Amino acid sequence: MNIRSLVKKTLLMVEPFSVEPIEGYIRLSLNENPTLPPMVVKTAYEKAWEYVNRYTPLEILEEFKDEVSLYNNASSHNIFVGPGADTILTYIADAFLWEGKVASMLRYTYPVYAEETIKRGAKIDFIPMDETFSSKLEDIVEHAKKADVLFLCNPNNPTGNLVIFTREEMEEVLKVSKGIVVVDEAYYEFSGFSVASLVSKYDNLIVVRTFSKGFAMAGLRIGYAITSPEIVDILSRVSQPYVVSTTSMVVATEALRYSRYAYENARRLKDSLYKIKQTLMGMGLKVYPSVTNFLVVEAPPGTWKRLRRNRVLTRLIYADVENRKEVIRISAGDRISVSKFLKVFADIVLEDK
């Protein structure tokens, strides 16, 4: 039987997801936080064992939403909980995108937006970016007028820069928007900038957050959205019951009570990235500004593959064959990983000269 003939055609238009190894590799490709959460959070993880035989009790969910509300100065009625920010993004696509709909996003941005749009047969309308990976506010505004869903990653992944700098700029977009405006604030704990306060004013705004970056809990798969109660209700209809594990919620609740560690982690990682940036610039390479836990650098052609051959994993944004360069994203890492990466990277650059 030809199984592919039975599959929705748009599903075959995207590449299957692959998991990267970690044993024996230096993994600077996934923007993970190399620092574990503090012991008090680990204690909560152990405490969650007593609920392992039960589906999540309402009390656990409400306690978590209360902590999220406090952390964001929002009402619990504005909080939707999901098993990671990526899954929340798929729920948004399920609810608001189908054939004939249009989703707008930056030319270089988090690939999940395009993948989920393609799967649902909707059209992608890219917002242009210049050679510095910046976009004009007027371009974003114009796309907001036409898009059924506007995806903005702020700060942007994989480029590391803010695309919306003030709440006033965000309001310019929201005032003219035709449809849903999604602002992905996965790196909020690094940038310190949020538009979540505008949710009370604009009922079509969805701010998506994760515990994977600042809070160093990527393996627990938990995230949340801050949005209007009406959209919370809609996303709840898309979601399956009990999809967020009790363990994840118990641990994330405790993490929010000790949220200071996320900001301390962010500061340390940004200090580390500054040192990496200075080293790369000392090699004569162009490094782009970043307010996240990763850097973007222009490297000699073939660098990404040569790093991989040396068991150093990074992310290739694009290869410019004509101008003999590759643009690569490098995540912050622990001291040993960064030291090994810089040595391999320096050897590659030296070979190219």
Question: Which structure tokens are listed for 260?
Answer: 């200071």
Domain boundary among 259, 281, 298: 259
Same domain membership, residue 147 and residue 100: yes
Same domain membership, residue 83 and residue 154: yes
Mean pLDDT confidence for 235-256: 96
Confidence grade of residue 325 (pLDDT, cut at 50, 70, 90)? confident
Same domain membership, residue 266 and residue 226: no
Same domain membership, residue 277 and residue 317: yes
> Over the stretch 15-44, which tens digit does the pLDDT of each residue have?
888 888 889 999 999 999 999 999 999 999
Number of helices (H), then strands (E), belonging to the chain: the values are: 12, 13
pLDDT above 80: residue 353 = no
Same domain membership, residue 144 and residue 17: no
**CATH number (domain holding residue 170):** 3.40.640.10
How many angstroms separate the most distant Cα atoms in the chain? 62
Same domain membership, residue 224 and residue 307: no
Q: Report the chain's C-alpha Rg in angstroms.
A: 21
Domain boundary among 259, 282, 301: 259
323 sits in which H/E element: none
d(Cα 254, Cα 205) in Å, to the nearest integer?
A: 27
pLDDT at 228: 98
Same domain membership, residue 282 and residue 220: no
Whether residue 103 contacts residue 148, with contact meaning beta carbons closer than 8 Å, is answered with yes
> Over the stretch 111-147, which tens digit does the pLDDT of each residue have?
999 999 999 999 999 999 999 999 999 999 999 999 9
Contacts of 310 (CB under 8 A, 6+ apart): 344
Same domain membership, residue 252 and residue 134: yes
d(Cα 101, Cα 137) in Å, to the nearest integer?
A: 23
d(Cα 168, Cα 174) in Å, to the nearest integer?
A: 10
Question: What is the pTM (predicted TM-score) of this model?
Answer: 0.96
Same domain membership, residue 294 and residue 152: no
* Tally of domains in the chain: 2
Domain boundary among 259, 288, 322: 259
Same domain membership, residue 202 and residue 90: yes
Strands (E), the chain: 26-27, 79-82, 102-106, 123-127, 149-153, 180-184, 205-210, 223-227, 287-288, 294-299, 312-313, 315-320, 325-331
Tell which residue, 286, 284, 276, has the closest CA to residue 352: 284
pLDDT above 90: residue 61 = yes
Q: What share of the chain is helix, strand, coil (3-state, %, to 5)?
A: 45, 15, 35
Residue type, 272: S
Same domain membership, residue 84 and residue 64: yes
d(Cα 146, Cα 125) in Å, to the nearest integer?
A: 9
**CATH number (domain holding residue 348):** 3.90.1150.10
Query: In the Cβ-directed half-sphere of 296, how many Cα atoms lie within 13 Å?
Result: 23
> Over the stretch 82-121, which tens digit does the pLDDT of each residue have?
999 999 999 999 999 999 999 999 999 999 999 999 999 9
Beta strands 325-331 and 149-153 are: unpaired
β-bridge mates for residue 82, sequence order: 223
Same domain membership, residue 265 and residue 120: no
How far from the centroid of its chain's Cα atoms is residue 169's Cα?
21
d(Cα 111, Cα 120) in Å, to the nearest integer?
A: 15
307 sits in which H/E element: helix 303-309
Domain that holds residue 206: 39-259
pLDDT at 321: 65
